[in-house]
Structures are given as structure tokens and as C-alpha cells.
Amino acid sequence: MKKSVSIGIIIAAVLAILGFILDSETFSIILYIAAYLIVGFDVIKNAIQNLFKGEIFDENFLMVVATIGALCIHEYPEAIAVMLLYRIGEMFQDAAVDKSRDAIKKLMEIRPDVATIKSENGLIVERPEKVNIGDIIVVKPGEKVPLDGIVLEGNSTLDTKTVTGESIPKNISKDETIYSGCINLTSVLEIKVTKDFKESTVSKILQLVEDATAKKAKTEKFITKFAKIYTPVVCLLAMLIALVPTIVFEQSFTQWIYRALTFLVISCPCALVISVPLGFFAGLGGASRKGILIKGSNYLENLTKANSIVFDKTGTITKGTFEIQKIVPNNISEKELLKIVAHGEMYSNHPLAVSIKEKYDEGYDEKQVENIEEIAGKGVKAKIFGEDTLIGNAKLMGENNISFDEVNEIGTIIYVAVKNEYKGYILISDTIKDNVKKAINKMKKLNIKETYMFTGDDEKIANQIAKEVGIDICKAKLLPDQKLKKLESLIKKNKKVIFVGDGINDSPCLARADVGIAMGGVGADAAIEAADVVIMNDDLSKIGEAIEISRKTIKIVKQNIVFAIFIKLLILCLGVLGIADMWMAVFADVGVSMIAIINSMRALKS
């Protein structure tokens, strides 16, 4: 909440209370007018500005006419109370909208600051924007790759999480394509630039988020649509009520102006302008109690319409952490095989090495590891416990003429050879989150007709996981822009799509989807900022709960709208006939509002 608005509401409320309890009518009126101007200044200003823009009949104008009508017939507390409640509802609505689209600061951190160009005069450090296509750049270990290109020299390992979202580092070697935004982990690379900075992968991710956010249509408030018809009709009828009987039938002007002003008080739409946003925010509050952060009422509405859902894989379907799934020894015990591999990976911070060290719970003898040599993209060669040892992938085994049977299983296989004799392998893979299959089945029961998984991972691994958890369609080996194109193709088919992800690379899709849902516990800050809904504990079953809450909330909001309009129209007719006096007008306004507010509170118990 903005401080200025909050302070204004508090001051206006205090002045109104003082005006109500004072005995002096003159001072009370002064306090009431002051309170009204303080709390209603922005509404009055917006109404006047919109008059000059030709947007006459919006909710601001309606509120001004109705509350001034109440002031004219000396219903000062009524006018102030209506404006106070209206401003409070608007304040909370604006706060949610502002928060939902904060600047994606974390995303900017993937943008490289400099590029090192190899030239005749040595190495020159320049901004990436100044590097030309065809230039050769040098990227040292620990540095971000600044531009897309082809590797000319060097073999290394890349952290590709910002581009593909995958936690396993990727091996890169000569003549392979490399994308900006990745982090070089192990060896120096020389890269020939193939795209300028504006067209590079990292720039496209940033641009995609901006474009996708702009494409997302915001749900127009119901009351704004309603006011375009309701407001001019009410104002015209009030004018006719005041003038026609007195001019045409020469009846008492005082009597009919009183009826016209009563008509305006009855017509005040506070039951709608309060109960509708309050119903939404009660739903938002009910969701937040269950660890579901929904950033605005329009996303609640969109959740009720969703019929398709797209999942990222790593960090969303899977935990994004790697564990040893299998140890298969050959002429050696499992314990000895793990001990050898753990000593070979003793100094490595590679995610796979970390998973091995977590499994191995015995002590290390550093003296038993000598001449350790890391072979980029293949593995490790060392003397472990006095014997020449190879630990790595099939390429490493093949290059050293090790006789072994290549394993065809889902995950990363680490083979081991001691003194040129094959000793077995260890299987390491990402693990599927608990209750994922159950959560997806629940979504299908809630009329989510199609489930998809878009991932940058290997096709074989992705298909296996999709099949295991019950996802209908799987698309693998996708870069962020490819994910977005696939998502937009679904939207173009008139599907209402939820996208669920957790990484920086998911930000464009989270922003473009009808509803973007981020995994808040492990998700990147950029993904959380770009998303419309955040699941705070990473439990996918919360998505089904969010859909159920949204449906209950929308049902309550619709009940309030129908009830408020029906009662308003009924008492408006009675007001024109002179049957409804000011007390009935107050009931039509405050009474209906209170009933609608009490009904809205049910959404808190979603």
C-alpha cells in the first residue's frame, strides 16, 4: 500500500468520526467536507480528467455523482463511507497489479557485462554490443559466454541453467554451437561470433519477457463495463426525475429534486465496487493461507477458464537435484566401487560429483589420490589407491580401449576402470517430485483436458519422465524461444493455457501464458517475478487447489453481482414512485453492501 493513500484514508476516517460525534453542526459539516475531499480527491481528479478525454461514464464519475448527491441531501457520513470503502478496495487492487509486474531485476543478471576479443594487438575487453559477427572472443573458466558462436578452440563444460533450465552441465567441444548466457566452468574457449548482441540468446530471453508481458491481455474490470451503460442511464433518469414533473406537470421542485437525489444515492454502486474486488481478494487471501500466492484478481478468473497446462521438467516435475539411483559393480563390491569414484571426484564441485560425495559417508584419504587429471567432457584420470583409474563416460572408456558393455538407461552413467579393467558403473539421475502423478490426475479431473511438458533436456529422458507421471504430450530439446513458440501455438488454437516453471529460462513462457505458475521454493527470482501465481512450497498438488479456489471465488463474485443489481433495480423503481425514502436508499446502498461483503468473506475459507 502506498503510504500517501494509506495516510489519507486514516485521516479521512478520523475526521469523519469526529464530525459524527461533535454537537456543532457547522464544525461537523466542515470536518465531513474535509474528510470527503481528502479521501475522494484522486477519484474526483480522475473523473474530471476523463471528462476531457471523452471517457465520461466510468466508475470514477459514477462515484463522484453518487457521493455528491448524498452530500447534497446532507447524508455526509454515507458519502464519506462509500468513498472510503471504494478507495480501500482500489488501493488493494492497485497494489496487487503493481506487484505482479515488478521489474525483473534478477533476469538482468544473466546479461554479460563484457566480452574479451582476440586481436592482433592481444586481448581487448569490450562491451558485448561492440563485438561484430566474425570476431573471435575468449571466455575463461567462471565467465559468462557473452555472445552466440562456434567453438574454435578448447573443450569445456558449461552451466546452461539460464538457457535450457537443466542442472546437469553440458560438455562443449570444437565446432559446436555455444549460446550466450551460459557459464564456462572448466577450460578456456575461443569462440567465433555468429550473432550480434541484439540477436544473441540472452538478449532474446530478455526481449521475450517484455514482449510476452505486453501481449497478455488484462481482464477489464466488470464494474467499468457495467458503468458505461449504468452510469449514463442513472444520471439521465435522475435528471428526468428532477425536471420533468416540475416543468411538465408543475409539481413541487423540492419534492422531485429530493426524489432525484434519493435515486442517486440508491444508484450508488458501492455494493459492486466493494464486494467485487473484496470477493476476489478474499479468494486471494484464502489461497495465500494454503501457500498459493496469486498476484491479481484477473488471474483468479483466468484459472477458472484454463483447459490446458504445460510443465517445465527440471525443478518443476523433477527436484532438480541428482541422486545415485544404481551402483552396478563388476568383480568388485558396491562399497569399493563407490569409494573409488568418491575419491576420484573428491575435489570436484560438479553436481554429479556432489551427489556421489553425498552418498559416500566414509572418510577420505587424500594421500591415496595422485596425478588427478580432468579430461573435459569425458571424465577423470588419476592414480587412486596406487592404481591407474579411469572414471567417466563411454567416450573415455572407448579412447582407452576398455572392454565394457555400454549401458542404455535413463540418466547419467559413470563408468569405472582400474588398471584397464572394467569395474562397473554408477547411474545418477534427477528424481521426480513426490505426488506429481497424483497432482496431474487431479488437474485432469478439474477439466484440464491436455497436459504437456516442454523441456531442454534429452528426448529419451523427457519422454520417460512424462510417461511415468501421466503427461499426455512431451516436447524435448527446446530453447526458451522454441518453448515460447510452442506455447503460443497452443494459445492460437484458442486454448486457455497454464504454464508451470521455475527457471530464468521459463520467464518468457510464464509471462505469455494465460496463467504463469512459478515454483516459489526453488524457483529463480526472475521466474517468480514473471509468474502470475507462485506455489510457495513447490507442491504441484497446490495447482489443483488454486483452480478450485478460483472457481469458488468467481461463483461468489457472480452471486454478489446478481444480488446487488437486482436489489438496486427494485429499489430504484420504488424510489421513482416515491415509495422508497432515504432510509430505504441507505439500505439499498449500505445494507446490500454488507450482505455482499459477508458473502465475499466465504472465499477466505476456500
CB 267 within 8 A of CB 70: no
Active site amino acids: 312
Among 144, 176, 106, which residue's Cα sits nearest to residue 505? 106
243 Ramachandran zone, left/alpha/beta (phi>0; psi -120 to 50): alpha
Taking the C-alpha atoms of residue 17 and residue 28, their distance in angstroms, rounded to an integer, is 9
Positive or negative, the CA dihedral 475, 478, 482, 488 is positive
CB 456 within 8 A of CB 478: yes
CB 501 within 8 A of CB 484: no
What the block records as the C-alpha cell of 576 is 421513482
Q: Which residues are CB-contacts of 304 (< 8 A; sequence separation ≥ 6)?
A: 547, 550, 551, 554
3-state secondary structure of 518: strand
Residue type, 336: E
φ/ψ of 139, rounded to 5, equals: -120, 120
Residue corresponding to grid cell 455526509:
76
Taking the C-alpha atoms of residue 524 and residue 502, their distance in angstroms, rounded to an integer, is 6
Q: Which residues are CB-contacts of 159 (< 8 A; sequence separation ≥ 6)?
A: 169, 182, 183, 185
Q: Which residues are CB-contacts of 41 (< 8 A; sequence separation ≥ 6)?
A: 8
48 membership: H or E segment, kind and range: helix 25-53
Residue corresponding to grid cell 497432482:
439
Q: Which residues are CB-contacts of 368 (< 8 A; sequence separation ≥ 6)?
A: 343, 384, 385, 386
Q: Which residues are CB-contacts of 11 (< 8 A; sequence separation ≥ 6)?
A: 35, 38
DSSP 144: B
